[in-house]
Amino acid sequence: MKKKLLALLFGTALVFSLAACGGGNDDAGEDTGTDNGGETTADAGDAEALYEKSCMSCHAADLSGGAGPNLQKVGAKYSEDEIHDIIVNGKGAMPSGLLNDDEATTVAEWLAAKK
CATH code of the domain covering residue 81: 1.10.760.10
Q: Is residue 16 part of a domain?
A: no
Q: Is residue 20 part of a domain?
A: no
Please, what is the Cα angle at 61 between 111 and 46, to 5 degrees?
Answer: 50
* Span of 6-15, 50-59, 66-75, 85-94 with lowest mean pLDDT: 6-15
Residue closest to 101 by CA, chosen among 59, 42, 53, 49: 42
Residue 101: pLDDT over 60: yes
Q: Is residue 5 part of a domain?
A: no
Q: Is residue 112 part of a domain?
A: yes
pTM of the model: 0.63
Q: What is the pLDDT of residue 114?
A: 94
Owning domain of residue 52: 42-115
Strand partners, 94: 91
21 carries a ligand binding annotation: no
Structural domain count of the chain: 1
84 carries a ligand binding annotation: no
Residue 29: pLDDT over 90: no
Q: Is residue 53 part of a domain?
A: yes
pLDDT band at residue 103, thresholds of 50, 70 and 90?
A: very high
Q: Is residue 106 part of a domain?
A: yes
Strand partners, 91: 94
3-state SS, one letter per residue, for the chain: CHHHHHHHHHHHHHHHHHHHCCCCCCCCCCCCCCCECCECCCCCCCHHHHHHHHCHHHHCCCCCCCCCCCCCCHHHHCCHHHHHHHHHHCECCECCCCCCHHHHHHHHHHHHCCC
* Span of 8-17, 71-80, 99-108 with lowest mean pLDDT: 8-17
Q: Is residue 72 part of a domain?
A: yes
Residue 108: pLDDT over 80: yes
Q: Is residue 21 part of a domain?
A: no
